[in-house]
Amino acid sequence: MEEVGTGLLDRLDAMQRVAASAPGGPLLIVAGPGTGKTRTLTHRMAYLCAELGVFPERCLAITFTRRAAAELKERLEALLGDVAEDITVGTFHSLGLTVLKENAKAAGLGSGWRIADEHEQTQAREQAGDDDAAYRKLLRQQDLVDLDDLISVPVSLLSEDPALVEKYRRRWQWIFVDEYQDVDELQYQLLRLLSPPDGNLCAIGDPDQAIYSFRGADVQYFLRFNTDFVDARLVRLTRNYRSSAPILAAAVQAIAPTTLVSGRRLDPARLDPEASLVGRYAARSVADEADFVVRTIDELVGGLSHRSLDSGRVDSRAAAVGNLSFSDIAVLYRTDAQSGPIVDALSRAGIPVQKRSHNRLRDRRGVAEIARELRHAGGASGPLRVRVKAAGQALAQRYAAPTLDGDQPAPEDVRLAAELLLPLADRTGDDLPLFLQQLATGAEVDALDPRAEAVNLLTLHAAKGLEFPVVFLVGCEDGLLPLRWPGSTPSEEEVAEERRLFFVGLTRAQDRLYVSSSAKRFRHGSEREQSPTPFLDVIDSGLFEKLGEAAPARPKDRQLRLL
């Protein structure tokens, strides 16, 4: 347990301390990447409980993912010890589930209600035609709810019952929401019911990292916080502890054209005069780009031939970076389909990789499909671990089809599908209902092991909130970032969101950042000429170091082999 009492806020900077020790009432903390949002939020909660006598059982902290909830809980335990156990920490879905469990009868659900699987949902949808009300009625007749119901049913229950609202407002008098820029309409409605307009609601986030509009998130709720909540206090955190000054300068310039934060600034806490510029590599092909990544990792980690087989950690030849291990390195990309050639090249060079993505298996539909497969797979009595594996394999086969944007599926995706879910199955033992519930109430499955000695491969969406000493942002090409479908022009708002995604990517890097593009790429069924993303054009060229001329073309472009 860390120091409690007078020293609690000592580890915060001046503005973080202002945010952490602000009095009750609505509080909006607008904080850029790397400014210590989680640190500030946990210290605020700890300070309120340890110093101001707020009861931990009156506190509710809400995040979007299980990973974020677990991290918050862990950090609270470090600050408060056992007291942290009394604080409710969860995702929006787990909060909805709690409210629903406590009011199942009022919601018209019988004692055996549960979350419907995909098959049951499809059946109900087909029967109901296009009529969503009729669809829900059918589910309800079978005592089933779907994932949207986990939020919408509590919202309707609370909207119709002021006494119930009072009950929850008394229970959770202090509410904290992380990544507030990502709330969608139903989550927002739930929050407005749980918190009175002058309530102790503390929301923290960064509008410039709002990247989930495709699943209904709306950054407008963040931007209008001070009209929704009375006398809201605003605190800004602008001191960035994560990135070197050149990386930060590039990121701030990249977001500037469409920033949602007036007077956006990020001040580097790190002022290393030796800091590297942003490496920029223009590859002639996708294979060349992948080779560039391998070559550079090889240089950074000190030469593959010299690598210790025990740990992968070796003395780096690059003194400015220090001791680097593979897990310090991340390769980020816009679409999952890009990962194939990179995984191939790294694996051929003997570099271990681990991959995480928001793929189809991890969206809500995927969860329901897994639930259904699990009921069939491996025999009803088999151990959960075995059944999860069998279900993963069945799904992998089903998904061995072209990806959404018409690209070939990455072989890695198919393998990953077969491996999905297992760590969670380990944690939940043989408890299938618990496993499904955990799967359903988290927005993603955690497949990234921070201790694994492997280079991390992630989509930009999956990289949100993480940081790595070395980051490669590959495929910085027009049409890929911003992403464009053939025959359609993205709206201004869509391009702005893609730019925010680019900003999220750049700001994951601590010491070294590499951006690369390929002159051609196989997309939408044919090989296309690609040009670098216009997002790079707004960055001062003095912040880049142009890296080596592209290696001579190979006789046969490896990418074509995927055909």
- Write out the binding residues: 31-38
16 makes contact, choosing from ligand ATP, Mg ion, none, with CB < 5 to 8 Å by partner type, with ligand ATP
Q: Residue 243 or 276: which CB sits closer to Mg ion?
A: 243
Please give the structure tokens belonging to residue 292: 């560039």
Least distance in angstroms from the C-beta of 16 to ligand ATP: 6
3-state secondary structure of 214: helix
Known binding residues for ATP are 31-38
Site residues for Mg ion, window 8-47 (CB under 5 A)?
Answer: 37
Q: Residue 19 or 394: which CB sits closer to ligand ATP?
A: 19
Which positions lie near ligand ATP, rule CB under 6 A?
Answer: 12-13, 16, 31, 33-39, 206, 209, 241-242, 465, 467, 507
Q: Residue 38 or 438: which CB sits closer to ligand ATP?
A: 38
Least distance in angstroms from the C-beta of 266 to Mg ion: 14
SS (H, E, C) 383-435: CHHHHHHHHHHHHHHHCCCCCCCCCCCCHHHHHHHHHCCHHHHHHCCCCHHHH
Please give the structure tokens belonging to residue 207: 């509008």
In which residue are the tokens 């109430």 written?
Answer: 441
Q: Residue 72 or 100: which CB sits closer to ligand ATP?
A: 72
Least distance in angstroms from the C-beta of 239 to ligand ATP: 8
Least distance in angstroms from the C-beta of 248 to ligand ATP: 12
Residue, CB closest to ligand ATP = 36
Cα dihedral 362, 367, 372, 375 sign: positive
Interacting residue with Mg ion among 34, 90, 340, 465 (CB under 5 A)? 465
428 makes contact, choosing from ligand ATP, Mg ion, none, with CB < 5 to 8 Å by partner type, with none
- Residue of 93, 23, 90, 30 whose CA lies nearest to 61: 90
d(Cα 466, Cα 458) in Å, to the nearest integer?
Answer: 10
Q: Residue 343 or 515: which CB sits closer to ligand ATP?
A: 515
302 makes contact, choosing from Mg ion, ligand ATP, none, with CB < 5 to 8 Å by partner type, with none
341 makes contact, choosing from ligand ATP, Mg ion, none, with CB < 5 to 8 Å by partner type, with none
Q: Are 54 and 48 in contact (CB under 8 A)?
A: yes
Q: Residue 41 or 59: which CB sits closer to Mg ion?
A: 41
Which contacts of 154-160 are long-range, i.e. CB under 8 A and separated by 24 or more positions? 154/96, 154/99, 154/100, 154/103, 154/190, 155/186, 155/189, 155/190, 155/193, 157/99, 157/103, 157/106, 157/107, 158/99, 158/190, 158/193, 158/194, 159/189, 159/193
Q: How many CB atoms lie within 10 A of CB 53?
A: 7
Least distance in angstroms from the C-beta of 300 to ligand ATP: 20
Q: Residue 241 or 544: which CB sits closer to Mg ion?
A: 241
d(Cα 147, Cα 260) in Å, to the nearest integer?
Answer: 31
Please give the structure tokens belonging to residue 524: 């939408």
- Residue of 15, 64, 65 whose CA lies nearest to 39: 15
Please give the structure tokens belonging to residue 290: 């992948």
Q: Residue 388 or 509: which CB sits closer to ligand ATP?
A: 509
Least distance in angstroms from the C-beta of 237 to ligand ATP: 7
Binding mask 410-449 for Mg ion (x = CB under 5 A): ----------------------------------------
Q: Residue 16 or 359: which CB sits closer to ligand ATP?
A: 16
63 makes contact, choosing from ligand ATP, Mg ion, none, with CB < 5 to 8 Å by partner type, with none
512 makes contact, choosing from Mg ion, ligand ATP, none, with CB < 5 to 8 Å by partner type, with none
Least distance in angstroms from the C-beta of 135 to ligand ATP: 37
31 makes contact, choosing from ligand ATP, Mg ion, none, with CB < 5 to 8 Å by partner type, with ligand ATP
206 makes contact, choosing from Mg ion, ligand ATP, none, with CB < 5 to 8 Å by partner type, with ligand ATP
Least distance in angstroms from the C-beta of 195 to ligand ATP: 22
d(Cα 512, Cα 547) in Å, to the nearest integer?
Answer: 13
Query: Near Mg ion by CB under 5 A, which window of 106-114, 136-144, 378-386, 460-468?
Result: 460-468
Residue, CB closest to Mg ion = 465
Least distance in angstroms from the C-beta of 425 to Mg ion: 27
In which residue are the tokens 């921070």 written?
Answer: 450
- 549, burial (CB in 10 Å: exposed 0-12, middle 13-18, buried 19+): exposed
544 makes contact, choosing from Mg ion, ligand ATP, none, with CB < 5 to 8 Å by partner type, with none
Q: CA distances (Å), 191 to each of 1, 201, 330, in order?
A: 31, 9, 35
Residue 332: strand pairing partners: 458, 473
Q: What is the DSSP string of 58-121?
A: GEEEEESSHHHHHHHHHHHHHHHGGGGGGSEEEEHHHHHHHHHHHTTTTTT--TT-EEPPHHHH
Residues found near Mg ion in the complex (CB under 5 A): 37, 465
